[in-house]
Amino acid sequence: FGPKLLQGMSLLLTAGPTREAIDPVRYISNHSSGKMGFALAKAAAEMGAEVTLVAGPVNLATPNGVKRINVESAQDMLDAVMPQVEQHQIFIGCAAVADYRIAEVAESKIKKSAEQMQLALVRNPDILASVASHAHRPFTVGFAAETNDVEQYARGKLSRKKLDMIAANDVSNTDIGFNSDTNALSVFWSDGSTDLPAVDKDTLAKQLLTLIANKIKN
């Protein structure tokens, strides 16, 4: 893998889940372990890039040479990402960002009472779309976690969010994607696509970054 293919480039990426607080002791989140995003950060640093990794709450060591910023909620992630956008040539959104947050976070622990209760949710800002619409936008790559109609939904996100590339994984298959050590990607851009078959996330990260580097250079 042209080891220094990203020499002189700087890459910003997000990884892991976000946590949306319900009250001081509870939250809504998802099964993202951060492994895919951390593999991308590690591979990019090895390929010569300067790497800034904005990470949700995960139990992973920071790869060598990578600058890490820890965040919790989607809003925290947006606040950490946006001031950095201009200084980077590539952005990859690998985080599993919560689409919704609690409308009003309770100030004290919610007590058990009625048999049923409802939580009102409001939409979170879209970090990837915000980066892609920035005046000095980097080469912007999204991920798409889909359980069905993978190409149709991924291409929808590519055009709606105005991305340069999108890497889709089929998360209905529990052997790949969320929390596993392997993954497979179908990568789409405006006039092309390629499949990266199931392999360990470190190898897959190098393959995806090689694709990105070649696209930027051509």
From the annotation, which residues make up the binding site for CTP?
A: 93-95, 99, 109, 125-128, 143, 157, 161
Q: How far is the CB of 115 from ligand PMT (least distance, A)?
A: 32
Q: How far is the CB of 37 from ligand PMT (least distance, A)?
A: 6
Identify which of residues 48 and 72 has a Cβ nearer to ligand PMT in the complex.
Answer: 72
Q: Between the CA of residue 191 and those of 164, 170, 187, what are the distances in Å?
A: 10, 21, 11
63 binds ligand PMT (CB under 6 A): no
Strands 121-123 and 100-102 come out as: antiparallel
150 binds ligand PMT (CB under 6 A): no
171 binds ligand PMT (CB under 6 A): yes
For ligand PMT, which stretch binds (CB under 6 A), given 43-51, 61-69, 106-114, 120-128?
Answer: 120-128
Q: CA-to-CA distance for 33 and 39, rounded, in angstroms? A: 11
200 binds ligand PMT (CB under 6 A): no
Structure tokens belonging to residue 209: 């970054």
Q: Between the CA of residue 209 and those of 2, 63, 152, 189, 205, what are the distances in Å?
A: 10, 16, 23, 14, 6
96 binds ligand PMT (CB under 6 A): yes
**Residue from 30, 148, 169, 218 carrying the catalytic annotation:** 30
Active site residue 30: yes
* Interaction site with ligand PMT (CB under 6 A): 32-36, 74, 93-97, 99, 124, 126-128, 142-145, 157, 169, 171, 177-179, 183
